[in-house]
Structure 1
Amino acid sequence: MTEKREYRMEELARLAGITVRTLRFYRERKLLPPPRREGRIAWYDDHHLARLRTISALLERGHTLNGIAELAEAFDHGRDVADLIGADTPTEEEPVRLTPEELAARFEGEVTPENLAAAMELGYLGTDGDEIVHISRRLLDVSSALVREGIPLAEVLRAGKEVRSHADALAGLFADLVLRHATEQDLPRLRPLARSVVEAELSLALDRRMRATP
């Protein structure tokens, strides 16, 4: 287990590469959570150091302090990743851990408080300390690729919400089919068959749509 480190204000500022005056300013703007108090001494920890490095990285990417404050509030009130990814639920999806600046780099200029809140509401993103966790590497890669193609992230998220409702309905159809002829224990073994059916039908539907497009 890693021993938790704590820092006085001067040491924290030095490690973060900023001045004590800047650190006080960030604290006054509520960009940092309160330090631990021991009498008149304020003690900061690695959580504060990570937040300061994130602020510096986001400022370099053109984010304003007001925008960073809104993002920080969203991170602090985000759902814990344990609520999104059940430890006892088998999944084929690979979660991805990201720092806030890595997320900003993935979606250059599109990581707004509104989009962040929408992604958290959908359950795509959760928080784990100073890290953000995306529940699916495949969804992360696809959504960032769509944004690079010029599709606004807000529209990608709206489409994702619609796809979610259809996917839930398809999963329900397959689960009902299996449970009529097999048992709940057979669902994990038959899951790849359900995915193949959905992928094939989606491919055929895209073919039909492309043929119908003038």
Structure 2
Amino acid sequence: MEELAAAAGITVRTLRFYRERGLIAPPRREGRIAWYDDHHLAKLRTIAALLERGHTLNGIADLNTAFESGKDVSEVLGLGEPTEEEPVRLTPQELADHFAGEVTPENLLAALDLGYLATDGDAIVHISRRLLDVSAALVREGIPLAAVLEAGRAVREHADALAGLFTELLREHAEEKDIQRLRPLAKSVVDAELSMALDRRLREHP
């Protein structure tokens, strides 16, 4: 414990407090010896980074609980399923940097529930670099992350309906082996229709 505290730049008393709060996992024990490893040190450095960014210990504990109750990456992405989206691995402080001041337990739970975030051991995984970049850009423009996530939930419902429509169309009129090859055509139709719908809405409500 003394060696871990020294490596993390904190006191043994602080380390004991973090352990009692459940902020770090218990050590591996061999007889009367308690062994801490690089995962414990990484967690302590994450706690320090989040504290520097203005998070409270209660908030960090809530975030920790939310991550531990979240799905792991295999549940979210599936095993061996094809995807065009590029997952992004993040540390908690990197996630906090993307959404400065907006990574609350409530928003974190909403993102986990949507499947935007998952866990992979000690790492956080965002399922799509494009969604991560767009969400962060909207927050930088002043749109609350909670509103972005709520919009994402609504978009998910419509996207599922559109995907179902095109999947049925392709399966009815194309060979199974050709469906993956033809999926970009379905995406192009949706992109064009969305573009025209935005034009109409902006003309109606300038």
Q: TM-score, normalised by structure 1?
A: 0.94
1:149 maps to 141
1:83 maps to 75
Tell me, which stretches of 5 or more residues in structure 1 are unaligned? 1-8
Aligned residue pairs: how many? 206
Deviating beyond 3 angstroms after TM superposition, the runs of 4 or more aligned structure 1 residues are none
- Report the secondary structure of 2:35's partner residue: strand
C-alpha root-mean-square deviation of aligned residues, in Å? 1.0
1:60 paired with 2:40, answer: no
Cα distance, 1:39 vs structure 2:
2.2
2:101 maps to 109
Range moving further from structure 2, 128-137 or 82-91: 82-91
**CA distance, structure 2, for counterparts of residue 41 and residue 103 of structure 1:** 35
- For residue 73 of structure 1, the aligned residue among 42, 65, 69 is 65
- For residue 165 of structure 1, the aligned residue among 146, 157, 161 is 157
2:119 maps to 127
Letter of the 2:129 partner, please give it: R
1:35 paired with 2:35, answer: no
Letter of the 1:126 partner, please give it: A
1:17 paired with 2:9, answer: yes
Letter of the 2:196 partner, please give it: L
Cα distance, 1:33 vs structure 2:
1.2
Cα distance, 1:73 vs structure 2:
1.0
Report Cα offsets for 1:84-112 as digits up to 9, x if no partner. 11232111100000000000000000001
Tell me, which stretches of 5 or more residues in structure 2 are unaligned? none
Identity %: 76
- For residue 190 of structure 1, the aligned residue among 173, 182, 191 is 182
Letter of the 2:128 partner, please give it: S
Cα distance, 1:18 vs structure 2:
1.2
Q: TM-score, normalised by structure 2?
A: 0.97
1:201 maps to 193
Letter of the 1:197 partner, please give it: V
